[in-house]
Structure 1
Amino acid sequence: MYKKILVPHAGTSAGDLALKHAIHIAKSSESEIILLHVLEDFPHVPVLSLHSSQAAKLKREFAQITKDMKQVMEDEMSKRALMCQKHGIKSSLKVVTGLAAEEILKIIKNQKMDLVVMAKRRKLKGIKSLLSLGSVSRKIVENTSCPVLMIDAEKK
């Protein structure tokens, strides 16, 4: 039923919990898991307030930091992909830069995902807890026709 399962993962224990659920589903449906981590963009360099050489230096430094962060997250996500392989599940990983919800929606559409399994971590009480999703979760649920399984990382 589900051939391609997307697991957006922030490198947290909540993401690991979502991955465990995705692995369970993938075992029974012979699915492939695609792990996705989105690095947020750095703000643009305020070039008008800096000398051109300072602005260029700052841009280079931001680019290097982004490159380093991407490598760190690729290493972290590789560990999660290995978990999938240990369970006999085909997996791949993507580390991209941008706005989380937008990048997740692009992958869902472009890769024709059959299911998204992601964690939510809201700690609200009362009626708000029933109505609340984080901004990324909400955007995903509201803007895709693909089924989305939300794993509550706060429930024990």
Structure 2
Amino acid sequence: MYDKILVPLDQSHNADLALRHAIGLAKKFDSKLYLINVVDTERIAMYGTGMGYVDLTQDLRKQAKELLANRMEEVKSAGVAGEAILESGNPKATIAKTAPARYDIDLIVMGKSGTDALERIFIGSTTAYVVRHTDTNVLVIADDGEDE
């Protein structure tokens, strides 16, 4: 039913909950997980594109690689096939459109909210955007109420 499952990751507790659910689904359906982190270069560019931009982008990519490597260890330890994807650009569009098309994704499993509370207030959450704009099924995992 779900051969390829996309799991957007950031440093949030809700993303980790989504990953746990996705691992369970992958075991049940013998699916492959695609773990994705998108470095928001469009947002960083708003502050200028000088040397600070390059340094910040490199630092964020390094953090993203570490996050993906750690979460891939969890996936492999659970006996699930997986692939880590590191992208740059607009996270909302990449998760909603680009990655599902590129990897032929059947399901997106994501947390109800991520790390950027300020963005949720003024712009809207990535999850809400993905639900409204993707052509792929989305499973939204609610917060379990535990503190991070």
Shorter-chain TM-score bucket reads 0.7 to 0.9
Structure 2, unpaired ranges of 5+:
115-123
CA distance in 2 between counterparts of 1:69 and 1:135 reads 20
Structure 1, unpaired ranges of 5+:
47-57, 123-133
- Identity of counterpart residues, as a percentage? 28
In the alignment, which residue of structure 2 is the partner of 1:116?
Answer: 108
Deviations, residues 25-76 of structure 1 (Å, cap 9, x unaligned) = 0001111111111122212466xxxxxxxxxxx6233112211220121112
Of 68, 92, 97 in structure 2, the residue corresponding to residue 101 of structure 1 is 92
In the alignment, which residue of structure 1 is the partner of 2:2?
Answer: 2
In the alignment, which residue of structure 2 is the partner of 1:139?
Answer: 129
Amino acid of the structure 1 residue aligned with 2:138: V
CA distance in 2 between counterparts of 1:151 and 1:6 reads 13
In the alignment, which residue of structure 1 is the partner of 2:69?
Answer: 78
TM-score normalised by length of structure 1: 0.78
TM-score normalised by length of structure 2: 0.82
Secondary structure at the residue paired with 2:45?
A: coil
Give 1 or 2 for the bigger CA radius of gyration.
1
Amino acid of the structure 1 residue aligned with 2:29: S
Work out whether residues 5 and 114 of structure 1, in 8 Å CA contact, stay in contact via their aligned partners in 2. Answer: yes
In the alignment, which residue of structure 2 is the partner of 1:53?
Answer: none
In the alignment, which residue of structure 2 is the partner of 1:43?
Answer: 45
Root-mean-square deviation (Å): 1.9
Of 132, 139, 146 in structure 2, the residue corresponding to residue 149 of structure 1 is 139
Work out whether residues 45 and 59 of structure 1, in 8 Å CA contact, stay in contact via their aligned partners in 2. Answer: no
Work out whether residues 3 and 32 of structure 1, in 8 Å CA contact, stay in contact via their aligned partners in 2. Answer: yes
Of 63, 72, 80 in structure 2, the residue corresponding to residue 89 of structure 1 is 80
Secondary structure at the residue paired with 2:139?
A: strand
